[in-house]
Amino acid sequence: MLFSLKRSILCINKNRPFQAVPSLKYYVNERVLDMNEAFHIISDGSCDLPIELVQEKNITVVPFYVSFDDEHYMKENVDIGIRDFYQQMVDKKGVYPKSSMPSVHDYEEAFLPFAKAGMPVICICITTKFSGSMQSALNARSIVQETCPEAEITVIDATVNTVLQGLYVLEAVNLRDSGTSYQDTVARLEEIKSTGRIFFTVGNMEYLKHGGRIGKVAAIAGSVLDIRPVITLKQGEIFPSGMDRGRRRTTQKALALLLEYLKESSLGIECFSLAVGFGYDHEEAVAFRDHTLSVLRDNGYDIKEIPLYQIGATIGVHTGPYPLGFGIIEKGIPTQTE
């Protein structure tokens, strides 16, 4: 998957005819190498970064696949946009989409042009606890290195996913663009990934139940009582962090978890990269972000802005259309304080 403004892509699906998607014209099967880079950053599609930002930062994204019928699998952000994905979830209640990881061939196509050009690569993959994407990347690396034995391809288990993985990828970009060496960048990424946290809630328990994350009885009780979970993800594992009634209370609990994390850290907020992740409801996400900024400032944190990133299909198939929460991770380049 490559990025270009020249033309719209052709969406290839063996189960249906070719179909152009002009609104997603950035993703094309051509690769434009920037030889001014010391090395290139690749991520699987779990990073959930906006297409425009991926272009700006010169990141290659290898997409996941999603299906609503178990037969026709579409590349995320290629064959189907994220907004359309969520709209179908909202419109087709009772239909549970599934995701599928990138293939070995997908990663081969991503790695090979850089290997042939002698460009080192860092490839960041979703936590191995959630997907076999990293194994696909490792297998592809072995195949590429048979053709290009000198190819430098480091594959990293992010131990995180979704917008937090996106923040992690952006830290890799920041390290690259600051002049940090290839090996030092890899080492620093390994150092900071354990600091990553996701604190989030969902609209209801239905998708968690369908995915086997919670039991049927708990899901029924949650539906009747309007009880929703608050969840923490760290170091590749999901941990329950409480339950409460209603959206307002659970989002407040997610915010409380963020405040607790910041207070327990020896670092100031300026040393962290923070984002709000959301699903279908952008208006709710904006209000939640603005409320978070107000609360953080009231608690003495000097923070000007928090970016909003839409959670993609890779995680959305498990959460349903209304996930909302935070991703936070230590910055790759330590912030100098006076």
Unique residue bearing structure tokens 């549970």: 96
| pLDDT given at position 22 | 33
Kindly give, in sequence order, each residue whose CB lies less than 8 Å from that of residue 251, ignoring residues fewer than 6 positions away: 201, 288, 324, 325
Place 159 in a pLDDT band, splitting at 50, 70 and 90: very high
| pLDDT given at position 9 | 27
Q: 104-116 and 133-147 are packed helices; what angle lies between their axes, rounded to 10 degrees? A: 40
| pLDDT given at position 204 | 78
Lowest mean pLDDT among 4-18, 49-63, 137-151, 282-296: 4-18
Lowest mean pLDDT among 196-205, 213-222, 236-245, 271-280: 213-222
Give percent of the chain above pLDDT 90.
73
For the cut 60, the answer to whether the pLDDT of residue 1 exceeds it is no
Give percent of the chain above pLDDT 70.
84
For the cut 50, the answer to whether the pLDDT of residue 333 exceeds it is yes
For the cut 80, the answer to whether the pLDDT of residue 5 exceeds it is no
pTM for the full predicted model: 0.87
Place 229 in a pLDDT band, splitting at 50, 70 and 90: confident
The larger pLDDT score, comparing residue 214 to residue 4, is at 214
| Averaged pLDDT, 242-257 | 92
What's the pLDDT tens digit per position in 315-332? 999 999 999 999 999 999
| CA-closest candidate to residue 182, choices 231, 135, 118, 121 | 121
| pLDDT given at position 21 | 33
For the cut 50, the answer to whether the pLDDT of residue 2 exceeds it is no
For the cut 60, the answer to whether the pLDDT of residue 192 exceeds it is yes
> Looking at residue 180, what DSSP letter applies?
-
| Averaged pLDDT, 162-188 | 97
The larger pLDDT score, comparing residue 244 to residue 47, is at 47
| SS3 track for 200-261 | EECCCCHHHHHCCCCCHHHHHHHHHHCEEEEEEEECCEEEEEEEEECHHHHHHHHHHHHHHH
For the cut 70, the answer to whether the pLDDT of residue 258 exceeds it is yes
For the cut 90, the answer to whether the pLDDT of residue 28 exceeds it is no
| pLDDT given at position 58 | 95
Place 123 in a pLDDT band, splitting at 50, 70 and 90: very high
| pLDDT given at position 272 | 98
| pLDDT given at position 269 | 96
Task: For CA atoms 107, 110, 116, 118, give the dihedral sign.
Answer: negative
| pLDDT given at position 8 | 27
| Averaged pLDDT, 172-195 | 97
How confident is the prediction for the chain on average, in pLDDT?
A: 86
| pLDDT given at position 13 | 35
Q: Where do the H-state alpha helices sit in the chain?
A: 51-57, 82-91, 104-116, 133-147, 162-177, 182-192, 206-210, 216-225, 247-264, 282-298, 313-319
Unique residue bearing structure tokens 């590349």: 75
What's the pLDDT tens digit per position in 201-226? 998 777 776 655 454 434 434 454 56
For the cut 70, the answer to whether the pLDDT of residue 300 exceeds it is yes
